[in-house]
């Protein structure tokens, strides 16, 4: 047998991976507001490194939904970090 035939025989056939179903994309928009540097720094300090956007978004959505339990949980987690 030649070398090329041996290589062809020893290669395993890969099975195609099943495709994952993707969640439908929701169109996103930007919501911005102005604040002082001191307020910005306070938010970053409360949220922790790299988490300010998620912190502010979670607080705003909890407040908008009237979810006092979630808002209180955010505040308690912030106090625990200080």
pLDDT tens, position by position, 47-78: 988 899 999 999 999 999 999 999 999 999 88
What is the structure's pLDDT at 35? 96
- C-alpha dihedral over 37, 38, 44, 45, to 10 degrees? 160
List Cβ neighbours of 48 (8 Å cut-off, separation of 6 or more): 55, 81
Tokens 């300090």, residue located: 45
The mean pLDDT value of the chain amounts to 85
pLDDT tier at 18, thresholds 50, 70, 90: confident
2-6, 43-47, 52-56: least confidently modelled range: 2-6
């Amino acid at each position: 047998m030649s070398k090329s035939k041996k290589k062809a025989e020893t290669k395993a056939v890969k099975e195609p991976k099943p495709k994952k179903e993707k969640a439908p994309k929701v169109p996103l928009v930007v919501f911005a507001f102005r604040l002082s540097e001191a307020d910005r720094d306070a938010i970053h300090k409360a949220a922790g490194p790299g988490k300010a956007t998620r912190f502010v978004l979670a607080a705003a959505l909890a407040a908008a939904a009237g979810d006092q339990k979630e808002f209180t949980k955010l505040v308690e987690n912030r106090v625990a970090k200080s």
